[in-house]
Structure 1
């Protein structure tokens, strides 16, 4: 087995890098959705939700950078064009969402999709001994599960 300069299998690193690129594309769409609902939210909960959506898109923006840097660390090249993101993202597109419940539901649905990808990457990175990616996915999952719980509580829905 050929190892890369950080001591991981080149083959495993390529596979994980590809999976991280899928996550990157989905995070970019999620980020754009958050920007859109931040800009377009209307109604009596505007003052509550507008800053919350900003907090979430700032966090998503940081995660996009972390994912891209991890891809580079593994020897890959991060996707970086809108065409790449459109082609590889599965997270739903939130177009012209201004109602509070629709916005929160979009966040929950998007995070569910991201969590599925992150768990797949978590398992692959665990199997290959890639602690750097594994720790990142574990942190993302923990934070996002809490966000889903809070959003579902806001919607008055069960997990």
Structure 2
């Protein structure tokens, strides 16, 4: 430590200023390079996160598509299984199923519920579990009950 102090004391004011400026520039360059490294890692992480999100959405949509094809084939081959699933989904959410009718290209479900939230939960569950895509929704509401008619397209 004494050697550094002696070295510093033996220098002229001009040399001290140059050494101080050199150390300041080295410190500034180190700070800039660290900041640049952090920014590049942040951009890289963001790009990886966006790619992972896109991959997840692609796989999720593909799984929904496969599930929808399975549900559509079940509707054509064994509709009672899907109708039982619809009734169980509705009963879990506190909604009663008045009628389920199945034509060649559409399926109509009539639900009765007390609250709008119950209907929303049933819609979400039908979409998630059976991948049914709704084409029409009619809501008739009075003071004590809501009646909803759901129309699903079958491909």
Into which bin does the TM-score normalised by the smaller protein fall? under 0.3
Q: Which has the larger radius of gyration?
A: 2
Structure with the larger helix share: 1
Q: TM-score, normalised by structure 2?
A: 0.26
Q: TM-score, normalised by structure 1?
A: 0.26
Structure with the larger strand share: 2
* Structure having greater relative contact order (Cα 8 Å, sep ≥ 6): 1
